Amino acid sequence: MGERIVVDAKGMACPGPITKLVKAYRKAKSGDIIEIYATDPGFKPDLEAWIKRTGNELVEISEEGGVIKAVIKVTAK
């Protein structure tokens, strides 16, 4: 089992959330789960582009009360 890394990027405007994700991804190992929370509406398309490029797995993406939650499984490292 990998580690679960929680990243809080709420209240950060573009490109804050992706910046935080890249920082977390640098430290992550294969099998880790990155759970990121963001409020920037631009985060969703950015994340999808990032997943497509890096080939990691998007396990879950949901939105509740203006907060986007994304769960990513690190598979490409």
Binding to other proteins by residue 70, rule CB under 8 A? Answer: no
Using CB under 8 A, which of 2, 6, 22, 60 touches other proteins? 22
- In angstroms, the Cα distances linking 38 to 1, 54, 77 are 25, 20, 24
Burial class (CB in 10 A: 0-12, 13-18, 19+), 34: buried
How far, in Å, CA of 5 to CA of 66, rounded? 21
Q: Is 23 a catalytic residue?
A: no
Helix (H, G, I), strand (E, B) or coil at 77: coil
Stretch that binds other proteins, among 13-21, 31-39, 63-71 (CB under 8 A): 13-21
Using the minimum distance from each CB to other proteins, give the nearer residue, 8 or 60: 8
Q: What is the binding site for other proteins (CB under 8 A)?
A: 12-16, 18-19, 22-23, 25-26, 42, 45-46, 49-50, 53-55, 76
